[in-house]
Amino acid sequence: MSIVQDVALGDDLIGVGRRSLAGRPRFEHAQRSIASKRIIAAFGFWIFLISDIIMFSAFFAAYAVLSGETAGGPSGKDVFSFTRVALETAALLLSSFACGVASIGARARSDAMYYGGMAVTALLGAAFLLLELSEFYGLIAQGAGPTRSAFLSSFFALVGCHGLHVTLGLLWLLTMMAQVFAKGYRSDIMRRILCFALFWHTLDIIWVGIFTVVYLMGLAI
Amino acid sequence: MLGKLTWAAVPLDQPIPLVAGCVAFGLVGGIVVYVVLKGWAPYLWREWITSVDHKHIGVMYIFLAMVMLLRGFTDAIMMRSQQALAFQAPGYLPPEHYNQIFSAHGTLMILFVGMPFMIGLINIIVPLQLGVRDVAFPTLNSVSFWLTATGALLINLSLVIGEFARTGWLPYPPLSELAYSPGVGVDYYLWSLQISGVGTLLTGVNFVTTILKIRAPGMTYMRMPIFCWTALASSLLIIAVFPVLTATLAMLLLDRYLGFHFFTNEAGGNPMMFMNLIWVWGHPEVYILILPAFGVFSEVVSTLSGKPLFGYRSMVAATMAICILSQMVWLHHFFTMGAGADVNAFFGIATMIIAVPTGVKVYNWLFTMYGGRIRYAQPMMWSIGFMVTFVIGGMTGVLLAVPPADFVVHNSLFLVAHFHNVIIGGVLFGAFAGYTFWFPKAFGFRLEESLGRAAFWCWFFGFYLAFMPLYVLGLMGMTRRMQHYDVPAWHPWLLVAAAGVVVILAGIGLQIAQLVVSIRHREQLRDTTGDPWNGRSLEWSTASPPPAFNFAVEPRIEEGDAYWETKQRAIRQQVLADEPVYTDIDLPRNSATGFVCAFFATFLGFALIWHIWWLAAASFLGAYATFVAFAWRDRTEVRVPAEEVARIDRENRSARRVALAQLGAAE
């Protein structure tokens, strides 16, 4: 009976490293008949993230095809600002760090770490979005909007799709803060925090791709 | 306030779609009123609409597929009759209406008949074959279904409000761009596919997770039934290519709504990029449809031949090889684009290579039948009909894979004949084989046999009559999608093809009759034991229909064909295995999330099609609030007490004991 009890609790005792926080050895996968809910949720969410990355790859491919098609309009070198991109990158990478702090805070049941980490994540995410929107606004104001050329269409679509993900991520983030506030660190909510963190870090990975393919290569050529 | 929507959107000047639409929606509305008046609404709400049980969701998928099959087949009748009449004459369908019909026919048949039928079978059967109680994410499963239904509803709404795309089932730019298709037809297509595409993608995520992470103890990969393998391959393909569809359609939407230049002729846009991107999705899509059908045939042929499947491991390898190769052949859909001889040669050879694992499968089925005790029941007839028909379609496919030959018959009726040959002969026959094979499992009674056989023969001969002439017409130079024509030599062949459609219509009529007769005589056709075909895999080890928890106790698997050996042991020893110790079972609670979310998604899609921005924003917020409400609930599971589990399982055990005793007495 005690084993059954522990397996049922296994979802709550989310381990850091090899041992759970309660100090009991973790249950190996083979010992359970079916993977725990936490593993199933995280695995499924990873699969979803892979599909999301594939969607981005289509936008990357379109950008690669169209990046030279400026139709007499500005090229990347003319419109990209290295300072702004550096600031955007810093904001997003630091927000991922803050998100990691929030995850650890949730596991350690530390309200200060969780809410503080999530709030910093949100602020840095919002700063990133503001920088991106100001870039878009500036481009449209100087006549380099997405309707100007195929290059600018694919640029706005790729970077804008990432920005849309960040926006939805912020909505999710605030929802998760509200949910912990209302319900506490329940096991299903812990699984959602895990998925949210995976999502947020994935946006970083995609940004690294955008930073390289769009901005660095655009400014170098 | 209402965007582009005005009274002009209702096609009052076109009687055919208007009357058809009114009849269809009147029928649906009438059924809804009847159901409410009869007092069945609470039952429907509780057991079906809000159900997160994979078996119920699967049945709803197949129901949707069958209704849409009727709609898509109506389109087919109209096209065939138009071409039979339109020899040196205008026929009865004006060109703009004819163009909508062939576009809707392709879209519906692939995305709202083939897909839901296969996903429905996967939903009902895969968790049972894996020996588990549900899929990885039951509520998400319900969301997936209802989003698919939303897509189907939007397409059918275009009958009465506005119009449908006139671009063909894949909206090739620049024709599909705003400059050449200013109406809402393409928008209907795009938004309904975007919404249902999300549903399909979530299904793919759900089944990959289920098959890789949730299996009964001892159900190793190499013990999984082939149907599970093909479901896995199909789900992997969904994850790999549906995001590309979403991105591609999003680019076309940006072109149409915000003046982007992805696929336009101006400002550096590249229409050929659309062909590449759409077929990166489109070609694997047909394998998403056919692979589960291959799985169905494997199960049917093995069970009804009374033998384990020949070459199980080679079947697994062939399935996974097709899963990978299918993503490397997309360019054969546009050899004539001018990519150059070396590129065309690469894709031509890659296409021919797919014939190898497919050939392996055909031989495996043949060798499974060889020396077996074959029962020619309905599922077996569909399977043999498939093998004969599909091989012809496969050979014409290899012919089309040769670039020079493809240049000759490109976009002709030869191509149309080829892909109907593999999709009807493969996917649809597979769907019907699965339908007749697993119907008793889902509902607890068999389908009547003689009407089913008659339906098969009508479909089989009707298919040959309808599509073999198209091969000839293609070689005679008739291109696809012609509203009228002047060549006398084509006319007789098109009359034969029209006759073929009439024979298929008889087949569909017989299938409806079969369903009605089977429901009326369900007591005589009752499957009491849950094992009507002398089955081999775990779905036959539980009652028909299975209880909500599928298995009273978690099965332990010790070999492939997991149920067969258990059954043989019981027959040898003339006793069932000992009664297990029953425990309480927790099941996921019903949830209206999927239905409510799809309700908002329908309004969201409609608002976006007609540029009603406030409604779009409100619908998005509604859908978001639905998910938050779902996330806020405190009780997620219901408990079935051990006594209830025991009561249900003992009923089935006593039925099996009787069957065992009869078997013993017979020997």
Structure tokens at B488: 């006398």
Q: Does the beta-carbon distance from B243 to A55 stay under 8 Å?
A: yes
The interface predicted TM-score of the complex, written ipTM, equals 0.89
Question: What is the rounded distance in angstroms from the CA atom of residue B629 to the CA atom of residue B233?
Answer: 34
Active site residue B235: no
Active site residue B167: no
**Between A43, A48, A66, which is nearest B268 by CB?**
A66
Question: What is the rounded distance in angstroms from the CA atom of residue B471 to the CA atom of residue B652?
Answer: 52
Token pair 């806020």: residue: B632
Structure tokens at A87: 């600031």
Per-residue model confidence (pLDDT) at position A68 = 86
Question: What is the rounded distance in angstroms from the CA atom of residue B652 to the CA atom of residue B546?
Answer: 10
Question: What is the rounded distance in angstroms from the CA atom of residue B574 to the CA atom of residue B534?
Answer: 16
Per-residue model confidence (pLDDT) at position A172 = 94
Helix (H, G, I), strand (E, B) or coil at B249: helix
- For the segment A176-209, what is each residue's pLDDT rounded down to a tens digit? 999 999 888 888 899 999 999 999 999 999 999 9
Any idea what DSSP says for residue B302? Answer: H
The Cβ of residue B29 has, within 10 Å, a number of other Cβ atoms equal to 11
Radius of gyration, alpha carbons of chain A: 21
The Cβ of residue B28 has, within 10 Å, a number of other Cβ atoms equal to 13
The beta strands (E) that lie in B89-150 are given as none
Radius of gyration, alpha carbons of chain B: 25
Question: What is the rounded distance in angstroms from the CA atom of residue B190 to the CA atom of residue A112?
Answer: 46
Any idea what DSSP says for residue A30? Answer: G
Active site residue B164: no
Are A3 and A11 in contact, with CB atoms under 8 Å apart?
no
Q: Does the beta-carbon distance from A150 to B631 stay under 8 Å?
A: no
Question: What is the rounded distance in angstroms from the CA atom of residue B118 to the CA atom of residue B238?
Answer: 13
Question: What is the rounded distance in angstroms from the CA atom of residue A72 to the CA atom of residue A148?
Answer: 9
Q: Does the beta-carbon distance from A62 to B132 stay under 8 Å?
A: no
DSSP string, B169-187: TTT-TTTTSTTT--SSHHH
Confidence of residue A16 (pLDDT cuts 50, 70, 90): very low
Per-residue model confidence (pLDDT) at position A103 = 93
Q: Does the beta-carbon distance from B268 to A188 stay under 8 Å?
A: no
Are B308 and B563 in contact, with CB atoms under 8 Å apart?
no
Confidence of residue A33 (pLDDT cuts 50, 70, 90): low
* Interface with chain B: mutation pick from A59, A153, A192, highest number of B CBs within 10 Å: A153
Per-residue model confidence (pLDDT) at position A2 = 33
Residue type, A137: Y
Question: What is the rounded distance in angstroms from the CA atom of residue B640 to the CA atom of residue B584?
Answer: 6
The chain-wide mean pLDDT, for chain A, equals 84
- For the segment A108-131, what is each residue's pLDDT rounded down to a tens digit? 888 999 999 999 999 999 999 999
**Which residues of chain B carry a pLDDT beneath 70?**
666-667
Residue type, B138: P
Are B608 and B187 in contact, with CB atoms under 8 Å apart?
yes
Considering only alpha carbons, which residue of chain B is nearest residue A60?
B247
Considering only alpha carbons, which residue of chain A is nearest residue B203?
A48
What are B262-266's contacts with CB under 8 Å, separation 24+? B262/A62, B262/A66, B262/A150, B262/A153, B262/A154, B262/A157, B263/B173, B263/B174, B263/B176, B263/B177, B264/A150, B264/B173, B264/B174, B264/B177, B264/B179, B265/B174, B266/A71
Helix (H, G, I), strand (E, B) or coil at B445: strand
Per-residue model confidence (pLDDT) at position A207 = 95
**Non-local CB neighbours of A132 within 8 Å, separated by 6+ positions:** A88, A159, A163
Are B155 and B188 in contact, with CB atoms under 8 Å apart?
yes
Are B431 and B118 in contact, with CB atoms under 8 Å apart?
yes
- Of these residues, B189, B242, B274, B287, which one is catalytic? B287
Per-residue model confidence (pLDDT) at position B62 = 95
Residue B47 burial (10 A CB sphere; 0-12, 13-18, 19+): middle
Per-residue model confidence (pLDDT) at position A221 = 64
Structure tokens at A23: 């100090």
Helix (H, G, I), strand (E, B) or coil at A57: helix
Helix (H, G, I), strand (E, B) or coil at B77: helix
**Closest CA relative to residue B429, chosen from B117, B63, B56:** B117
Structure tokens at B362: 């055909």
Residue B639's H or E segment, with its range, is strand B637-640
Question: What is the rounded distance in angstroms from the CA atom of residue B210 to the CA atom of residue B127?
Answer: 8
Per-residue model confidence (pLDDT) at position B529 = 85
Question: What is the rounded distance in angstroms from the CA atom of residue B101 to the CA atom of residue B95?
Answer: 10
Structure tokens at A189: 């909510």
Structure tokens at B482: 């012609």
DSSP string, A149-199: -HHHHHHHHHHHHHHHHHHHHHHHHHHHHHHHHHH-S-HHHHHHHHHHHHH
Mean pLDDT to the nearest integer, A86-101: 94
Q: Does the beta-carbon distance from A43 to B248 stay under 8 Å?
A: no
Q: Is B268 left (phi over 0), alpha (psi -120 to 50) or beta?
A: left
Structure tokens at B33: 């009123």
- Of these residues, B139, B141, B326, B626, which one is catalytic? B141
